[in-house]
Structure 1
Amino acid sequence: MLNSKQVMVVAFLCALSAPGAFAADGIARDFERIDSDGNGELSWPEFKARGSEVLFFADLDSDGALSREEAPPGLARRFDSIDANGDGRLEADEVEAEHKRMFEAADRDGNGELTRAEVDALPRPGNGGRGRGGTGS
């Protein structure tokens, strides 16, 4: 019998492994929920909280880090470049650093907030690396 965390983990991982699942897709899909203050933009603390959720739900053995097997597809594809200390695990600070890099790259106007348009412009697999707007970088 699965406990409640295991059920949530299974549901989360099923969503992540669906065709086309990618971090940018999840952020775009959940934009309003991630925007906790409802101002129509994602701040770094809001974006960081999303990264913490990913780490919590994907960490199946609850050891505070992601193994290669636990890593969601978006992180797994870049596992070696994210694993800064080369120990074969993605620890919270490494995942946070990757999410900070993604946030800064997406913040095209450099104002420290991500608009819906900036999130929609994030690259996604299957569209030539371009966001929904089709302009890419």
Structure 2
Amino acid sequence: MKHTGFIVAIVASSIALTAGAALAQKPGGMQRAPISFEQADQDGNGEISKEEFASRHEARFSETDANSDGSLDRDELMLSGEKRLEERVDAMIERFDKNDDGVLSQDEMPKPRDSKRADKFFDRADQDDNGSISKAEFDEAQEHMGKHRKNKSHKN
């Protein structure tokens, strides 16, 4: 089935977007727990075949396809995304809740990874150096960033 890879990519993207937009990430981003070599080597022969590697993706698709109809509807994708989001929230609370009260205070929240980068962006956007960014400066900075991202994606 040629569409399986495409559908798996859509599922993975949907899940990543749902969870990624909702949570601050730890350095390097919070990723799915890595699979061990032994888990991937399903037949235990000491090597991972393409089929074994691909079956991981098929298994994820099957897990998401709650009604087993061979396709993923909006509800199934949302349920899968919500499950991943819940796992990420739990992991975030577990990681940052220093006083173990089950909630995150402002002091416990992760600090921005690169405040110098944010300062640099602000200084570039504040073209008249008045210490604030006007709507026009903001819009121009956004447009510049959009062009930069577009150029980067074409290079990859």
Which protein is bigger by CA-based radius of gyration?
Answer: 2
Superposition TM-score tier, normalisation by shorter sequence: 0.3 to 0.5
More helix by share: 2
Bigger relative CO (Cα 8 Å, ≥ 6 apart) = 1
TM-score, with structure 1 as normaliser: 0.35
TM-score, with structure 2 as normaliser: 0.32
More strand by share: 1
